[in-house]
Structure 1
Amino acid sequence: MDDIETELNIAAARSDSPEDKGRNQEQIKQAVLLHQSQPDPRGSFTAIDFLKSNRKCLKLIREAMLRHNWQEAARYFSSYIQTLEAGTHPQVRSAASEITWRLGTEILRHLPNSSLDDFNAFYEQLKNFGVRNYSKICLEHCFHLMLNGQMDEAKRQLSIADSWRYGKQSNAQSMTKKLIRSYCGYLDYLIWNEKKTSALGSEEECANREMHSYFRQASVTLKEIVSQPGVWDPFVLSYIHMLEFYEDKDVALQVLENYAYNKEFPLNPNAHVYLYQFLKRHKAPRAKLIGSLRILHSLVPSHELMLELCSLLLHTKQMSDLEEALTVSMDLLEFSSWKCSIKAWKCLLNIMKKLKMKKCINTVRKEWNVRRSLWLSLHYRSYIARRDSLQNVQLLMVKRDVLRFTGENNRDYFKIALRVERASKPKPDRLGEKRERMATMKSKKKEKKTLSD
């Protein structure tokens, strides 16, 4: 922001022809300038003066936004965009187009009286202002229309963006086109989903025909997109939802397996989650479920589905799977997000109990010895025990039982757990016992007296 000549590219400006220079100065003269400097004697502003005014305006916009004074920011922004529209050096205008886009949308979102028409007018103005960002602005405009329920207009904006071409096709433009194409399919899916809801309660053939038409459009586009390497989570889920609705389970499974296992695709834990959830919905064999979750464990050992993997491994009745369940559960508890999860600790305790029943307690102690130094510092410090005794006594007791299975002699931890356990037990009612004994003695005396009489 401080290097004026670099930002404006003064060297390039000086090389312009005298006619261009005169034309630029004439355009700048017409602009709305905010700085307080005086023009030269001819009454026109130089390019550096113009850039100074823009910088000052940007600074005022920034300060107003930091104070959340959105009305003031909108006034300054209106002046800023007028100066740019009046005519500037092409490089400055190109750089300012994205600044204008980001600032304007942020201010509009926070203005209390802004309407959908204001957004539409602003986006249309931006499209004519920065052609390099035309496709991205159309895509953002589409998102805004979708959030306001205007699906048909959103589809029109995407169609315009899909057909837009500017200059030589670059890699960046190609990626943007691919993204726009994928959202075209996603929008068709959303419209299909709406039509499906209305068509299910109707017997009209016209409604069903319209719904199937959107399904065909969406499925063709989404199939093309998800078959290309990339991370396409929302589009994959949309495509699978449609295939499941029409009971095309084989194609859906093929899509999910390709998304999860194709080596050309980037590593994506969600792909394995979607595959597992699909297999679970359709009651796949346990071996397939375990295989899917094993790969997920190798990618994200802290995932919540690891508890389901442990449960599946416990039901196979194979010793190797039981040992694997022990490893998976202990891996899970080494992440801070699971340290205080009673569910995860109970899962580990259950696995240890089963290993003891099978007389394989040495497996537990072998695994413990590998992790001992980490676990003692992570889970079994005295201050952690005191904290658990105040916040979650049940967690303290489960952790104590786990520690007993490992054969570890942590006296401080066991002492705190024992004290808490004794304190939590109900105290005997001494006074009640005394009264009961007195009542028993009185009744016996009465019986004796009755017998003697």
Structure 2
Amino acid sequence: MDDIEAELNLSDVSDASEDERILRKTESPSLSHVPSTNARSKESGFHKSARLCLKAIRDAMLHHRWQEAAQYLSAYSQTLEETTAHRQSLACEIIWRIGTEVLQHHPDSQLEDFNVLYERMKNSGVKNYAKICLEHSFHLLLNGNFNDAKRQLSVAASWKYGKQSASQSMELKLIHAYCGFLDYFIWCTKKSSPTSSDANTRELHSYFRQASVTLQEIITQPGVWDPFVLSYVDMLEFYNDHEGALKVLQNYAYNKDYPSNPNAHVYLYQFLKRHKAPPAKLISTLKVLCCLVPSHELMLEYCSLLLKSEVVEDKQDCLTVAMNLLDYPSWKYDLNAWICLRKVLTVLKKKKLKHLIDKEWEKRKDLWLAMHYRKCHGKKDSEENTGLLLVKANVSKLLGEHKRGYNKFSSSAREKKEMLTR
């Protein structure tokens, strides 16, 4: 609720205790029941009542009293009768945003209630027409009403109001994109249909053409178009146009006009892996992702690929990537990450590349001993994850480090494990 107030620039006004006391006594919330302001206030009685009503809505929402919030919102809707354009526009946006939030949480709300709210807001806040249509279509999509959602987007796509601003242009572009996205959804439905008649095949291809033309037009414009790119690639793969799909993904990942987007490199890697690309291509793709997001979960696969390479530089990179991963708190207690590091260290030792380990460890020693190998870490690991405790102890030995405070816990855990296996 505070975010809504900040975004709509609603100012904080000092509380009027007497007015609020009377407002709380009101059994059926209505603006006409709220007392008018005193003569010293510059705002009219109606505007002060509206402000108090909005505050009551906010308090009800903060305490999850959705029925009460809905009642006050019904009263606050009288502000749509404002005579000044600015106040009416602001009131429309407040009711639209708060109304959808209240209906989302109200136990008795139905789809028809959302439809009524959206339709009323479209007619009241004409400047937000396209944006409200887009949100309305999202809500219909979540409820599985694809055809109604498509109808909303089609209406919004043909909407015009005055001179088109830059923001309106972006909204219409997004609406156009979602029209293609819905054609893709319908195509998916037809594709999974059990009937395989010629008529069904023609209809399927018709939706493919509609969706592909729209999606291709959208994704060739610089931007972040993740769901649209994936949809287009899915259709191209279905029709075995693997080369076309690869070009789309490569352009999305490497085109300098597009915003930096780690997901683009993930999609490209997944496509290459799916189609059995050579390890060198997979490594080059993940190398870029590593630069963008060194803590990404695919870094474990990256390490595995680097470790299989015969190039010494790749093995050095592998050690760096594995240790970088464990520098992040989210990976600190991940068993797979530590197993990966242990494997890397073991392979490097077998390959007589211990100098690479020493070089990397020298840079990290002070940080890692404090971050992973203090006595408190040993106590925590022994209580919560003995498997992790033993792997970390193995890693410390491979690094040529012996921390007595930590390793005494691993020795105790190892002894218990040996006793249980006898």
TM-score, structure 1 as length reference: 0.83
CA contact (8 A) 1:272 1:293 kept: yes
In the TM superposition, 1:293-308 aligns within 5 A as: 293-308=286-301
1:97 paired with 2:106, answer no
Residue 234 of structure 1: aligned partner: 227
| % identical equivalent positions | 55
CA contact (8 A) 1:34 1:54 kept: no
Gaps of 5+ in 1: 5-30, 41-45, 430-453
Cα deviation code 1:306-352 (max 9, x no counterpart): 11111111112222211111111111111111111111111111111
Distance 1:428 1:258 in 2: 56
Letter in 1 for 2:190: K
Letter in 2 for 1:130: G
Cα deviation code 1:159-189 (max 9, x no counterpart): 1111111222211111111111111111111
Residue 323 of structure 2: aligned partner: 330
1:78 paired with 2:74, answer yes
1:61 paired with 2:57, answer yes
Residue 282 of structure 2: aligned partner: 289
**What is the Cα deviation at residue 270 of structure 1?**
0.3
In the TM superposition, 1:361-376 aligns within 5 A as: 361-376=354-369
**What is the Cα deviation at residue 95 of structure 1?**
1.3
Letter in 2 for 1:36: P
Distance 1:203 1:66 in 2: 53
**What is the Cα deviation at residue 148 of structure 1?**
1.7
1:174 paired with 2:173, answer no
**What is the Cα deviation at residue 2 of structure 1?**
5.9
Counterpart selection for 2:206 from 202, 213, 224: 213
Distance 2:219 2:244 in 1: 13
Residue 88 of structure 1: aligned partner: 83
In the TM superposition, 1:26-65 aligns within 5 A as: 33-37=32-36, 48-65=44-61
Letter in 2 for 1:35: V
Higher CA-based Rg: 1
Letter in 1 for 2:202: R
Moved more, 258-267 or 118-127: 118-127
Distance 1:402 1:358 in 2: 17
Counterpart selection for 1:275 from 261, 268, 272: 268
**What is the Cα deviation at residue 414 of structure 1?**
2.7
**What is the Cα deviation at residue 32 of structure 1?**
5.5
**What is the Cα deviation at residue 87 of structure 1?**
3.5
CA RMSD in angstroms, aligned pairs only: 2.1
Could you list the structure 1 runs, at least 4 aligned residues long, displaced by more than 4 angstroms after superposition. 1-4
CA contact (8 A) 1:135 1:176 kept: yes
Letter in 1 for 2:141: M
CA contact (8 A) 2:81 2:88 kept: no
1:118 paired with 2:117, answer no
CA contact (8 A) 2:36 2:48 kept: no
**What is the Cα deviation at residue 97 of structure 1?**
1.3
Distance 1:108 1:346 in 2: 48
Given the superposition, is the C-alpha separation of residues 225 and 101 from structure 1 closer, same or farther in structure 2, using an over 3 Å criterion?
same
Given the superposition, is the C-alpha separation of residues 164 and 419 from structure 1 closer, same or farther in structure 2, using an over 3 Å criterion?
same
Given the superposition, is the C-alpha separation of residues 163 and 393 from structure 1 closer, same or farther in structure 2, using an over 3 Å criterion?
same
CA contact (8 A) 1:192 1:215 kept: yes
Residue 151 of structure 1: aligned partner: 146
Letter in 2 for 1:155: K
Distance 2:166 2:291 in 1: 33
Gaps of 5+ in 2: 1-9, 14-29
1:190 paired with 2:189, answer no
Residue 450 of structure 1: aligned partner: none
Residue 11 of structure 1: aligned partner: none
**What is the Cα deviation at residue 425 of structure 1?**
2.5
CA contact (8 A) 1:361 1:405 kept: no
Residue 408 of structure 1: aligned partner: 401
Residue 334 of structure 2: aligned partner: 341
Given the superposition, is the C-alpha separation of residues 169 and 424 from structure 1 closer, same or farther in structure 2, using an over 3 Å criterion?
same
Q: Secondary structure at the match of 2:362?
A: helix
**What is the Cα deviation at residue 78 of structure 1?**
1.2
CA contact (8 A) 2:222 2:257 kept: yes
CA contact (8 A) 1:34 1:57 kept: no
Given the superposition, is the C-alpha separation of residues 411 and 188 from structure 1 closer, same or farther in structure 2, using an over 3 Å criterion?
same
Distance 1:390 1:38 in 2: 64
Q: Secondary structure at the match of 1:340?
A: coil
